[in-house]
Amino acid sequence: MSQDIKIALSKDLISDNAINEVASSIEVSNDALKFVFFSSSYNKSRMQSALAKYLGQNVLACSTAGEISPRGITKNTTAAASISSKIAKFKKYEINDLIKFNIQDALDIRRDFENEFNYNIKDADKYAGILLIDGKSMLEDKIIALLYKVFMPIRIVGGSAGDDLHFVETNVYNDNELCSNAASFVLLRCETSFRVFKTQFFKPMIDKIVITDASPRQRIVYEINGERAAIEYANILNIPVEDLNPYILAKHPLVLQIGNNLYVRSFEKMNPDYSLSVLSAIDVGLVLRVAEPTDIVQDYNNLFDHLKTELGENYFFVAFDCVHRRYLTEKEGAFDEVNNMFRLQKVVGFNTYGEQFMGMHTNQTLTGIAFAL
């Protein structure tokens, strides 16, 4: 592997040991951008201390719902990688209050970025952004929309931090601390060919639906087509509402179509009042479709074939892969096949609580950025 990209994985369950181990295998100087994706099973205070102790500055890190590396898709591990400045020049911006973050804050980042990189919009295709964000904040839609509005046409991808499906607290690493209500945003000027990508494996079923009652802030759908949400959703699937289990909810998310692009809105759960909690933006009047899956294994194959065609045989990528995709590969008996695919890749990434692509927050999607080596 190119010395400009180094990847490591630790299965040690002690934070200090895990970070020390990956630090010994990647570039830890401040000239390198470091990615660290770790299970929420690690002690929070010990993990943040270890990150500060061994990795210094320019660390893009968060808790996960699973880790991805050339050793496959793992749990209770720490995956890490470093990218040298020969691959990309970069600067990290820390957003420490998602609730208060506004358009002026985004413009301030833009102004600093322009000064730092001597940016000319004619060179926008040489730049990319990566966002890591608190996956329990319910503010991903707001933040990615603001950032993309200010930075477009620069392409932005990212992932929402996880906590191994506990849905209690997710953390992003800013200023030597693991924080909630926070995000890390890195802007890169790429010195090699690169691709920003998004893939998903759902297709819409025929009937359109309309959200007729919802709480956008809480991401809860109360009514679909004027009926209680879960009951109408079950009717569309032609099953009893009592059969709406996590597997069915994951297998049949909602999709929003914008032009030729589909953006998935996953369900978190059915509530006792037959409302449905979702993991992306929702609002009254939104027109969506219930989706059905295609072949997820083929979806991964298509992506890797595409990257090989675009960037050549030798490439590295950062992956933000929804935890619901992992869940469905397990339920459908495809996990081992997908896992073996990742073992053939130069990759670092994690299973997310949501993904960002351009100006949208989405679910059950794989987004990322790949670099030719």
Tell me the two tokens of residue 69: 């590396």
- The pairs formed by 109-118 with CB atoms below 8 angstroms and a separation of 24 or more are 109/147, 109/150, 109/185, 110/150, 110/151, 113/151, 113/187, 116/91, 117/89, 117/91, 117/187, 117/189
Q: Supply the range of the domain harboring residue 266.
A: 202-293
Q: What is the largest CA-CA distance in the chain?
A: 59
Asked whether residue 143 falls in the same domain as residue 69, the answer is: yes
- Say yes or no: 79 and 158 in one domain: yes
72/180 same-domain check: yes
Q: Are residues 194 and 208 in the same domain?
A: no
Q: Which long-range contacts (CB under 8 A, 24 or more apart) does 18-26 make?
A: 18/42, 18/50, 18/77, 18/78, 19/47, 19/50, 19/51, 19/53, 19/54, 19/55, 19/78, 20/50, 20/54, 21/78, 22/78, 22/79, 22/80, 23/54, 23/55, 23/80, 25/80, 26/80, 26/81, 26/82
| Residue 282 and residue 195 in one domain | no
* H helical segments located in the chain: 15-23, 44-55, 103-117, 140-151, 229-237, 246-251, 296-311, 323-331, 335-342
Question: Does one domain contain both 319 and 269?
Answer: no
Please indicate, yes or no, whether residues 53 and 109 belong to a single structural domain of this protein. Answer: yes
Token digits for 42?
A: 């690690």
Where is the domain boundary, 223, 258, 293?
293
**Which residues touch 108 (CB under 8 Å, ≥6 apart)?**
none
How is residue 233 annotated by DSSP?
A: H
State the Cα angle at 34 between 29 and 38, rounded to 5°.
130
| pLDDT tens, N- to C-terminus, the chain (373 residues) | 578 999 999 999 999 999 999 999 999 999 999 999 999 999 999 999 999 999 999 999 999 999 999 999 999 999 999 999 999 999 999 999 999 999 999 999 999 999 999 999 999 999 999 999 999 999 999 999 999 999 999 999 999 999 999 999 999 999 999 999 999 999 999 999 999 999 999 999 877 999 999 999 999 999 999 999 999 999 999 999 999 999 999 999 999 988 888 899 999 999 999 999 999 999 999 999 999 999 999 999 999 999 999 999 999 999 999 999 999 999 999 999 999 999 999 999 999 999 999 999 999 999 999 999 9
User: Are residues 250 and 184 part of one domain?
Assistant: no
**Residue 179 in contact with residue 265, Cβ under 8 Å?**
no
CB-based contacts of 330: which residues, under 8 Å, 6+ apart? none
Where a domain ends, among 293, 325, 346?
293
Could you tell me if 184 and 148 lie in one domain?
A: yes
Q: What type of residue sits at position 58?
A: N
Give the chain's domain count.
2
pLDDT score, position 259? 83
One domain, residues 78 and 213:
no
The whole model's pTM is what? 0.95
Q: Is 289 in the same domain as 347?
A: no
Q: Give the end of a domain, one of 266, 293, 320.
A: 293
Residues 160 and 55 in one domain: yes
Specify the pLDDT at position 116: 95
- The pLDDT value given to residue 1: 54
Q: What is the pLDDT of residue 165?
A: 93
